[in-house]
Amino acid sequence: MACWDSAGALRDAARRLLIANRKIGTARLTGQPYRYTCPSPRLYPYQWLWDSCFHAIVLADLDPAFARDELATLLSVVQPDGFLPHVIFWEGRRGHHLWPLLLGEPGSRPHYSAQTQPPMVAVALERYYDATGDRAFVAASLPAVERYYRWLGRSRDWDGDGLLAIIQPYESGLDASPQYDAALGLDPFSPVRHVWNTLRSTLHFSSLRWRRDLVRASGGFNVKDLFFNCIYVYNVRALARLVRLTGGDAAAWERAAARSEAAILAQCDDPVRGFYTSLYGVYDRRAVPVTVANLAPLLLAGLPAERVHGLVARLENPAQFGRRYPVPSVAADEPTFDPGPSLFLWRGPTWLSTNWLVYRGLRLHGRTAAASRLAERSIALVLKSGFREYYNSETGAGYGAENFGWSTLVVDLLRRETIDDRR
């Protein structure tokens, strides 16, 4: 139970947590130094891509020097072709979990996974610059950052239609979200079949040694993920601003963002239901369940005003996302909605990472009152239950890992409530 009674106390608690979660050392296999913040020391001791970006966003204000180290450590693993993994096992150990063995990139040094994750890097780097004015670090980081976003556009736009594909639910960061049930052959959902189908897909890709050409040709899990694509567009626009900041030509990145945004608005549109969906399979079938991913188009600057209005209405509708402690990861009127603790994450509880992204989307479109209400309820969650991995959207109870890094994003929400920043 949290007992902080002021914004300053909340900031101090966040700072202490992020310091306690630090991992500083040298990779045993390569001699490469690392300095990063793990999500939770006991359950998640490694460096995760989008977690690390969220940590850097908060640290940009609380400890700018370590925010710089966090980003530098992450970017040091960008591969020559631009690939950036979703987990890096810096200490040379694959841990006590089975999945790092199955998801690992064969022969990688340091050992890392063969998947990526929502590409939050550019937004994190921009937040660091806004807090510090450190243009030299931005300029030094951009070659690796641009290489990563080029890899995404080149290696994951399989159909050449401007939409990026993910090859595992893990890559979206939303893991067992019901929006992937159909793509995994789970209709209806069954816990046993979910474990088996996910494991079977992982074993198949692992047998291919995660060779990206073979994975693509194998016809396995293939989702043009709405959440992932909206985050990509949002970050490519941040990347364009950073390139202009350092005197570069950002035209190619502006075109890339506009092309992918147009593809989302045209191809992911479900005009009957009045919102946008993920697409899966070779025939681009629509993911049916309504989840927090359906709110991700708020991150698109070109989202039509009537669709902004519709998404905000869904966000604040008590029958869908407007619960006591929003934003639930699944709409409350969905049959799969379950706000309690579970081994199958992202099927109903509230997460601070997605709250922060929805908040940014609301601010982008000038919906400041709705953003402030969401910030207030997000902060109330942390005040009630501490920095937990996820929360019950009905009661506010905290679940999963304790001392969870990205829930410190409430500090950034507090900061943004005092400024006028619509990015």
**Assigned token pair, 137:** 């670090």
Q: How far apart are CA 32 and CA 90, in angstroms?
A: 9
Per-residue pLDDT of the chain in tens (423 residues, 90 and over written 9): 466 677 888 999 999 999 999 999 998 878 899 999 999 998 899 999 999 999 999 999 999 999 999 999 999 999 999 999 999 998 755 554 555 666 777 777 788 888 999 999 999 999 999 999 999 999 999 999 999 999 999 999 999 999 999 998 989 999 999 999 999 888 788 888 888 888 888 888 887 878 878 887 777 788 999 999 999 999 999 999 999 999 999 999 999 999 999 999 999 999 988 899 999 987 688 888 999 999 999 999 999 999 999 999 999 999 999 999 999 999 999 999 999 999 899 999 999 999 999 999 999 999 999 999 999 999 999 999 999 999 999 999 999 999 999 999 999 999 999 876 656
The pLDDT score that the predictor gives to residue 218 is 77
Written as one letter, the residue type at 186 is L
Catalytic residues: 175, 389
371 DSSP β-pair partners: none
Q: What percentage of the chain reaches a pLDDT higher than 90? A: 75
CB 24 within 8 A of CB 34: yes
Interval 283-301: pLDDT, tens: 688 888 999 999 999 999 9
The pLDDT score that the predictor gives to residue 123 is 98
Closest CA to 78 of 142, 123, 167, 5: 142
**Looking at the chain, how many residues does it have?**
423
Residue 106 CB contacts under 8 Å (≥ 6 apart), including other chains: 114, 209, 210
The pLDDT score that the predictor gives to residue 197 is 83
Q: How far apart are CA 377 and CA 391, in angstroms?
A: 12
Interval 16-61: pLDDT, tens: 999 999 999 998 878 899 999 999 998 899 999 999 999 999 999 9
Strands (E), 155-291: 223-224, 269-270, 275-276, 279-280, 285-286
CA distances to 147, 276, 329, 358 from 363, rounded to whole Å, are 29, 20, 20, 9
Task: Give the H or E element holding residue 75.
Answer: helix 64-75
The pLDDT score that the predictor gives to residue 423 is 65
Interval 310-368: pLDDT, tens: 999 999 999 999 999 999 999 999 999 999 999 899 999 999 999 999 999 999 999 99
The pLDDT score that the predictor gives to residue 1 is 45
The pLDDT score that the predictor gives to residue 98 is 58
Q: What percentage of the chain reaches a pLDDT higher than 70? A: 95
The pLDDT score that the predictor gives to residue 421 is 63
Neighbours of 296 (CB within 10 A): 28
The pLDDT score that the predictor gives to residue 213 is 80
**Assigned token pair, 25:** 């050392």
